[in-house]
Amino acid sequence: MAKDVLCEVNNCKYWEKGNKCSAEAIYVVSHTGKKAADQEETDCKTFEPV
């Protein structure tokens, strides 16, 4: 498991200084079912605006 999760979306409530993510868990989904061909086909569902 990744020790550091980076995030550049600084209007997310889990964003912290240094582009760190402070969420206890990260939920990523694919737009195309269970498999994604590239990053454009995915979204972070953990995002919550501040």
| Percent composition of the chain: helix, strand, coil (DSSP 3-state, to 5) | 5, 25, 70
Residue 12, SS3 per DSSP:
strand
Amino acid in the structure at residue 50? V
pLDDT of residue 2: 76
Say what the pTM is.
Answer: 0.80
pLDDT score for 13:
97
> Do the Cβ atoms of 23 and 38 come closer than 8 Å?
no
pLDDT by residue, tens only, the chain of 50 residues: 778 999 999 999 999 999 999 999 999 999 999 999 999 999 999 999 99
pLDDT of residue 48: 96
The amino acid sitting at 6 is L
CA of 35: how far to CAs of 13, 27, 42, in Å?
Answer: 28, 15, 9
